[in-house]
């Protein structure tokens, strides 16, 4: 049975939250035969475009590749560790990049909120994908310098995460060492731990 049909993947929350939030999770087992349409890709990128941004600087850029394209293969080739095992089965890979300065020169004004803003756009990508009936998994495990070289990124463009998007597949398709992680109980710190003060 594909994990997306299993009720135990829904977050157990201490207060009601929207279904698109509660049902979001990060699978590693993707259907290697599932495809993603151009319309779905555009919808996902449009969600990223409309993410919040400090002073509306929008300091985020993306490299986007569908499975079977050279761009997809280039992104996949610079993933590390176990990510190289499962991520190539996704339908889409997106490299999210923070623009950390307002220009390419050494005296360009740095943007201290670039990574934060890029993270917000990445979150929009994930939730829009989920709203489209897809799943997404963000990865920090990548060769940042090689990604920068591969895509000829200037020094002030910093790769932050790679997002795999596609249709979830059966856990049994994963190597045994990843199967336990795929079905492990979903946990989060309690609200009272996260909030230092609340009146």
> How deeply is 102 buried, as exposed, middle or buried, from its count of CB atoms within 10 A (0-12, 13-18, 19+)?
middle
Q: Report all structural domains of the chain as residue ranges with CATH numbers, in order of start.
A: 3-10+19-171 (3.40.109.10)
Query: What is the torsional sign of CA 27, 30, 34, 39?
Result: positive
Sequence-separated (6 or more) residues with CB below 8 Å from residue 131: 20
39 to 45, 140, 195: CA distances (angstroms): 10, 27, 39
Q: What is the pLDDT along the chain (199 residues), one digit of tens a residue?
A: 344 444 468 999 999 999 999 999 999 999 999 999 999 999 999 999 999 999 999 999 999 999 999 999 999 999 998 999 999 999 999 999 999 987 666 567 889 999 999 999 999 999 999 999 999 999 999 999 999 999 999 999 999 999 999 999 999 889 888 998 888 888 999 999 999 999 9
Closest by alpha carbon to 136, among 117, 161, 170? 161
């Amino acid at each position: 049975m594909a994990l997306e049909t299993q009720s135990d993947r829904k977050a157990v929350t201490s207060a009601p939250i929207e279904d698109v939030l509660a049902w979001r999770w990060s699978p590693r087992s993707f259907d290697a035969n599932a495809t993603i349409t151009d319309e779905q890709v555009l919808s996902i990128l449009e969600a990223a475009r409309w993410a919040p941004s400090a002073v509306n600087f929008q300091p985020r850029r993306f490299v986007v590749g569908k499975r079977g394209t050279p761009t997809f293969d280039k992104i996949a080739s610079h993933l590390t560790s176990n990510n190289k095992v499962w991520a190539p089965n996704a339908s889409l890979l997106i490299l999210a990049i923070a623009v950390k300065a307002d220009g390419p020169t050494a005296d360009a004004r740095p943007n201290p909120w670039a990574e934060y803003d890029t993270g917000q756009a990445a979150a929009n990508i994930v939730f829009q994908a989920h709203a489209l009936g897809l799943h997404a998994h963000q990865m920090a495990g990548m060769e940042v310098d090689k990604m920068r070289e591969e895509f000829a990124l200037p020094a002030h463009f910093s790769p932050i995460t790679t997002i795999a998007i596609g249709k979830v597949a059966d856990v049994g398709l994963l190597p045994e060492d990843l199967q336990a992680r795929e079905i492990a109980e979903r946990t989060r710190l309690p609200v009272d731990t996260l909030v230092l003060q609340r009146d």
